[in-house]
Structure formats: C-alpha cells, structure tokens
Amino acid sequence: MSVTNPRPADIMAAMVDYILSQHPSRFTAETLPRDESLMELGVLDSAGVIEFIVFAETTWDIQISDDDITKDRMGSLEKMSTLVQEYLARKA
C-alpha cells in the first residue's frame, strides 16, 4: 500500500485491520459493517473514536479538522474512508 497515494480499497482494508486488531469485537473482517456507526454497534467507545482518528491522521499523514469530526462525516467506515480520500486529494 502506498501511503501517499493509496487506493480506496487499501484505505478501507487498513481501517478494518486496525479496528479488528485494536478493538476486538464479535465481528470479523467479513462481517464488520462498513456502513454503520461503530459507536452504536459498541465496537468503539468515545476513547476509541479518538484513537481511530489519531490512527488515520498518523497513517495517512493528514490533520482532520474539528469541523469534520461529526457523525455525518465520520459515522461509519465508509464515511471515514471517504473523508481520508478527500484529505489526501487536497494534499496531492
């Protein structure tokens, strides 16, 4: 995976790997929902969300703005992946 120009599928795969390894739950790579809130599913608590944000910022060398730390922008893995892609596109 290229950190500077990752494909959307690579971003999603990295996020899923992170969630499964750092926040174990009943889900597997196959069953972890991509379009639901991980907080509402009980996978992440409020501290876990912060850890996830810092993971994304560190992995892709981006700085997520406070304005984007909302359920609309980060409320699922798919939304989070889209957000990361937007930040990377702005960097390019």
Partner 1 sequence: MQLIDLLDYPALHYSPASTAGILDCSLRTGVLPHGQYAFALARDHAVYLARDPLGCNKLFFGRNSSGDVVVANRVARAWQCGVPLSAIGSCPPGHVLSVSGDGIRRITGQDVSDMAADPELNVGEFQRTVGAALNHAFKWLASEFEDCRFAVCLSGGLDSSVVASFAAEHLPGATAVSFTYLDDDDLRRHARGEPAHQLASASDDFRSAARVASALSMPFLPVVRSRQAVAGAVRSSVELSQDWRDFNVHCATVNLFLAQDMRAAFRDTRVVVLTGDLMNEFVCDYKEEHVGGSVYYRIPRVPSDRRRKYFVRGLDAGDREIGVFWNYSLIACQPFAVLAGYYMRVPARMLDQPDIKWELNSPLLASPVVPHVSRSKTRAQVGGKDQGTLGIYHQLDIGEEDLRRVWRDQFPGESASACDDLIQLGRYRIPSYVADQ
User: Whose Cβ is closer to partner 1: residue 4's or residue 46's?
Assistant: 46
User: Whose Cβ is closer to partner 1: residue 28's or residue 90's?
Assistant: 90
User: Whose Cβ is closer to partner 1: residue 30's or residue 67's?
Assistant: 67
The residues of the shown chain that bind partner 1, judged by CB under 8 A, are 39, 45-51, 54, 66-67, 69-72, 74
Q: Could you write out the three-class secondary structure of the chain?
A: CCCCCCCHHHHHHHHHHHHHHHCCCCCCCCCCCCCCCCCCCCCCCHHHHHHHHHHHHHHHCCCCCHHHCCHHHHCCHHHHHHHHHHHHHHHC
- Least Å distance, CB 3 to partner 1, is 19
